[in-house]
Amino acid sequence: MTIRHLRDDELDLALTGETLPAEVAEHLASCLVCRRRRDGFVAAVDGARGADPDDATRRRVREGALSAWGGTSRRRHWARWVAAAAAVVVLSLVPLLRSHTVTPKLNTDAVLVEVDAVLAQDPLSAVAPEDVVNTIVPAPVEAGEGS
């Protein structure tokens, strides 16, 4: 004979105080295993609702959390302020440095004239080395008397 105990959803109904179907309520009243499961959940919830920890426990937990996080020592505190101040100074000087940068004027007309002259001579040699040009476009062979 197989005994069917309460499923989790049926146990949830019993824990929340909702009305159970008659068959489930009878089983809960007669089954020691299901009552112990229910009582275990109730005890866990009651334990979680316990009083707040005392000051010593709070201090110990806080110190443990701060040490795991890295803490806040005065030395690190001042180092962070100095680093922040240095960052502010550097960031405030960057626009001043950019405005004083002198860029040489480029004569675009002269550049275009030079590019046109190179391309007029040999457009392929302007963009490829000589050995590549000779491979792609071999030099013409002059016709001899026999050809």
SS3 72: coil
Higher pLDDT, 79 or 71: 79
Mean pLDDT of 26-38: 90
- 8 A C-beta contact, residue 17 and residue 11: no
Structure tokens at 63: 């110190």
Q: What is the pTM of this model?
A: 0.34
HSE of 7, CA atoms in CB hemisphere, 13 A: 5
6: burial class by Cβ within 10 Å (0-12, 13-18, 19+)? buried
pLDDT above 60 for 74: no
Longest dimension (CA), the chain: 123
